[in-house]
Chain A
Amino acid sequence: GQNIDQPTEMTATEGAIVQINCTYQTSGFNGLFWYQQHAGEAPTFLSYNVLDGLEEKGRFSSFLSRSKGYSYLLLKELQMKDSASYLCAAPMIYNQGGKLIFGQGTELSVKP
């Protein structure tokens, strides 16, 4: 089966660094997505990792270890606007037509 786990909520301070972890168990592997979702809005794409290692995009970086079934999203120089839910998602494969399975999301609160 497929399963994705993330912490439910995290709190961090403005200007700090926070790491949001995601562990996954999938029947195959076709990459891992991170999305950001503000309350009442649709998710927006942050990153897509297929290969092991760290990919950096400005203040946001995403890491993947396929052997460990583990990924994390790293947010640097936190800003108040980074308060949102962060969703880890994996595509289902084996002719599943591109369906995504989502983790439960991590609600990040950034405090002054």
Chain B
Amino acid sequence: GAVVSQHPSWVICKSGTSVKIECRSLDFQATTMFWYRQFPKQSLMLMATSNEGSKATYEQGVEKDKFLINHASLTLSTLTVTSAHPEDSSFYICSARDETSEDYNEQFFGPGTRLTVL
């Protein structure tokens, strides 16, 4: 199946700093990628849809100026958490669809990035 990678796998930062997380589709092209956040013991919550070559679409309640998304190529989307605070500590997961696949709706998930803000 298709492979999605994320980098870094974990990061610890100080409050007020910015953190960039990369999501790459390794063996397929993805015009659309998705960013999720997951708090402990909770399910995945969709934050935004990353669209190659255009602006991301954010879910209700997600601050677009705080969570900057850039999808500059067909294999790379980045999420930047700006001015991070302890409440932003979470598990961030990206996913992508292989739009050439027969299972058009299947999403392939990256391994996740554990962010801890001190």
Contacts and interface: CB of A to CB of B under 8 A. Distances in A.
A107 B40 CA distance: 12
B106 A33 contact: yes
Interface string B50-69: 01000001000000000000
A44 B51 CA distance: 23
Contacts of A100: 34, 46, 95, 107
B49 A97 contact: yes
A104 B112 contact: no
Interface residues on A, range: 20 to 34
A48 interface: yes
Nearest to A8: B41
B43 A87 contact: yes
Given A44-B109, A103-B43, A98 B32 contact: yes
Interface secondary structure of B, over-half rule: strand
Which one of A40, A87, A97, A98 has the highest number of Cβ atoms from chain B below 10 Å of its Cβ?
A: A98
Contacts of A104: 42-43
Nearest to B114: A40
Given A30-B105, A99-B34, A42 B112 contact: yes
A48 B112 contact: no
Contact of A91 (B43, B44, B105): B105
Interface of B: 1, 32, 34, 41-46, 49, 51, 57, 91, 93, 95, 97, 103-112, 114
29 contacts: A30-B105, A31-B105, A33-B105, A40-B112, A40-B114, A41-B111, A41-B112, A42-B93, A44-B109, A45-B1, A45-B106, A45-B108, A48-B103, A48-B106, A87-B43, A87-B44, A91-B105, A97-B49, A97-B51, A98-B32, A98-B49, A98-B104, A99-B49, A100-B34, A100-B107, A101-B46, A102-B43, A102-B45, A105-B42
Given A40-B91, A91-B105, 20 more contacts: A30-B105, A31-B105, A35-B109, A41-B111, A44-B109, A45-B108, A48-B103, A48-B105, A87-B43, A97-B51, A98-B34, A98-B107, A99-B46, A99-B49, A100-B34, A100-B46, A100-B95, A104-B42, A105-B43, A107-B41
